[in-house]
């Protein structure tokens, strides 16, 4: 690695690690962190609970490794994020290795860089869900299986099968389907049908099956053996059927109750931000590769690669058919997208007849990124008084430096790479050190939960009254904060979290109390311009108080 490579890697690592200090966001990430803490405290690793309630949704691997990390490092942000971050690094390494099997080292390095600097990748390393581990497992599996197909070394095949098994324990059958989509497309276009009939696939089934035994037994023991349990409002629920069918395929067939009306274009629309700064190149690359394959009558030679293009398209279509989609579902295919984009960018860099497109892309991106810099500068100045003025000044300085070096650099290839990396790393630096921390002051669960733990208040004595329970409060208080709407049941020595308006209810009920902490609450996942405007924010926030009953 040369000096520039080390500078980029160091800058990325710094931004990622700063993100470790951000409070975990409600709802999903905070819920999973709380469940991992609960699993650690209970010592029950086969049955999964969410605040003591039977949980049947995500597979348990994230909870297992997060609980283990918390056992080693304590219950904190770092411990929850560390295991997923290691899988994120595995995804970057695997993307590099997979690309290097079929392309040159330059393309492989660019593929890894594109993945590591996509906006979704920055996000998933601090807003930790199951997708980070899934991405790492799938990328690793595809790399190992591709190496096996090339070298016929069985240990590659075994490692690839292990990757599938861990991926399935993280987010279900999608971990098996994505590699199948990629290799099916690849060998179909090569007209290599013999590869579909290999005895080693039986070995893969055995390896995956063995890895799934603990999880499957836990599901069977917790749910299938107890049909009387009420799960998601139903009885007679099979944990095994839910995991292996309903959770994934049921969203297509309609068996799953989850339905947010997302259409086939939903994931692509969200890639417009989650695959920044590379999204325009990726769209062009996708069209370019499809066009090339079509011109060859959908046939490729034995040395060509179609794992990525086929894997991405079929994965996208399968996810797009689901009646319930969230933006991060497509993250599992980002390693494919990164390699597709890298191949196209190197084509632009090396083919002189396409130099006009390189100039167009470069000039277009400096305009887009200038707007992003202006937006981040305004966010550092206007919405939050708690952000230090030095961040605002530093952002202006960096923006001016970007423009200066953009003008000074003569080569359009270097201009493009510079403006993409400088912008995405700079923006995420300011998001992590200033904007996210200021925003999370309005997340009551983490702020009050930290106060409870710091002041050694027993969480079991803390209740909410006429105030929605925040997932993050269980994690940060290291206990369960329950809802209590019966004032007669509230006793001396209890602690109550409620809105300022409801304090009158306590006064009318002759409850003597003292106010320990006040603040403003807002669901930060529903960010809007009204909230970001300090003058109109009052219409959206809820004032709350943590009180002690005397």
- What string of DSSP letters covers 284-330? HHHHHHHHHHHHTTS---TT---HHHHHHHHHHHHHHT-SS--GGGG
Reference 389, options 434, 437, 441; nearest CA is: 434
| Overall pTM > 0.85 | yes
Cβ distance 24 to 128 under 8 Å?
yes
Predicted confidence at residue 83, as pLDDT, reads 96
pLDDT tens digits along 454-473: 999 999 899 998 888 788 99
Instruction: Provide the residue ranges of all domains of the chain, joining segments of one domain with +.
Output: 3-253, 352-441, 443-549
The phi, psi pair for 59, rounded to 5°, reads -60, 165
| Calpha distance 88→403 (Å, rounded) | 32
Q: Are 453 and 474 in contact (CB under 8 A)?
A: no
Contacts of 369 (CB under 8 A, 6+ apart): 277, 402, 419, 420, 423
In tens, the pLDDT along 83-121 reads: 999 999 999 999 999 999 999 999 999 999 999 999 999
Judge: domain 443-549, CATH 3.40.50: no
User: Quick check: 225 pLDDT over 60?
Assistant: yes
How deeply is 488 buried, as exposed, middle or buried, from its count of CB atoms within 10 A (0-12, 13-18, 19+)? exposed
pLDDT of residue 286: 95
Task: Provide the pLDDT for residue 352.
Answer: 53
Nearest-5° angle of CA 6, CA 286, CA 87?
Answer: 45
Average pLDDT on 130-144 reads 96
CA distance 166 to 168: 5
Mean pLDDT over all residues of the chain? 89
Least confident of 161-165, 193-197, 238-242, 403-407: 238-242
pLDDT, tens digit, for every residue of 12-27?
Answer: 999 999 999 999 998 8
pLDDT of residue 250: 61
**Measured distance CA(206)–CA(201) in Å, rounded:** 9
Distance CA 430, CA 264 (A): 33
Best CA proximity match to 218, nearest among 169, 173, 174: 169
């Amino acid at each position: 690695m040369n000096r520039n490579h080390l500078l980029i890697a160091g800058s990325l690592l710094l931004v990622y690690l700063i993100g470790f200090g951000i409070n975990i966001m409600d709802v999903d990430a905070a819920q999973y962190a709380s469940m991992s803490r609960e699993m650690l405290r209970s010592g029950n690793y086969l049955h999964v609970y969410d605040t003591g309630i039977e949980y049947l949704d995500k597979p348990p691997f994230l909870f297992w490794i997060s609980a283990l990390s918390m056992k080693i490092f304590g219950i904190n942000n770092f411990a929850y994020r560390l295991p997923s971050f290691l899988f994120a690094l595995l995804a970057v390494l695997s993307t590099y290795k997979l690309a290097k099997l079929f392309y040159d080292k330059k393309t492989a390095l660019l593929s890894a860089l594109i993945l590591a600097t996509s906006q979704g990748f920055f996000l998933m390393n601090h807003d930790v869900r199951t997708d980070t581990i899934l991405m790492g497992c799938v990328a690793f599996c595809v790399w190992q299986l591709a190496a096996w197909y090339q070298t016929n070394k069985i240990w590659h095949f075994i490692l690839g099968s292990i990757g599938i098994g861990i991926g399935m324990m993280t987010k279900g059958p999608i971990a098996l389907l994505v590699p199948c989509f990629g290799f099916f497309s690849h060998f179909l276009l090569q007209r290599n049908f013999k590869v579909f009939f290999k005895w080693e696939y039986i070995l893969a089934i055995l390896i995956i099956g063995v890895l799934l035994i603990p999880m499957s037994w836990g599901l069977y023991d917790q749910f299938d053996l107890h049909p009387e349990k009420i799960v998601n409002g139903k009885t007679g629920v099979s944990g095994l059927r839910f995991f292996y069918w309903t959770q994934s395929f049921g969203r297509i067939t309609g068996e799953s109750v989850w339905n947010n009306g997302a259409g086939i274009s939903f994931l692509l629309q969200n890639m417009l931000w989650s695959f920044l700064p590379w999204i325009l190149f990726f769209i062009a690359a996708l069209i370019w590769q499809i066009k090339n394959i079509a011109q060859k009558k959908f046939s490729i030679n034995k040395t060509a690669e179609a794992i990525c293009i086929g894997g991405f398209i079929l994965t996208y279509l399968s996810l797009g058919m689901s009646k319930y989609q969230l933006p991060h579902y497509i993250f599992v295919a980002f390693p494919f997208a990164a390699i597709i984009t890298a191949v196209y960018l190197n084509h632009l860099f090396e083919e002189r007849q396409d130099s006009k497109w390189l100039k167009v892309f470069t000039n277009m991106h400096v305009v887009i990124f200038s707007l992003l810099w202006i937006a981040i500068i305004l966010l550092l100045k206007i919405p939050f008084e708690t952000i230090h003025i030095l961040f605002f000044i530093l952002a202006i300085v960096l923006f001016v430096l970007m423009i200066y070096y953009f003008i000074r650099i003569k080569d359009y290839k270097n201009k493009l790479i510079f403006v993409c990396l400088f912008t995405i790393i700079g923006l995420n630096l300011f998001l992590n050190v200033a904007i996210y921390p200021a925003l999370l002051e309005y997340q009551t669960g983490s702020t009050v939960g930290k106060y409870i733990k710091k002041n050694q208040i027993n969480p079991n004595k803390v209740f909410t009254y006429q105030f929605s329970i925040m997932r993050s409060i269980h994690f940060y208080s290291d206990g369960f904060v329950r809802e209590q709407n019966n004032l007669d049941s509230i006793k001396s020595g209890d602690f109550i979290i409620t809105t300022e308006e409801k304090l009158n209810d306590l006064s009318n009920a002759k409850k003597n109390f003292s106010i320990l902490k006040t603040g403003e609450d807002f669901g930060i996942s529903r960010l809007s311009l009204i909230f970001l405007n300090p003058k109109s924010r009052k219409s959206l926030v809820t004032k709350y108080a943590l009180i002690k009953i005397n």
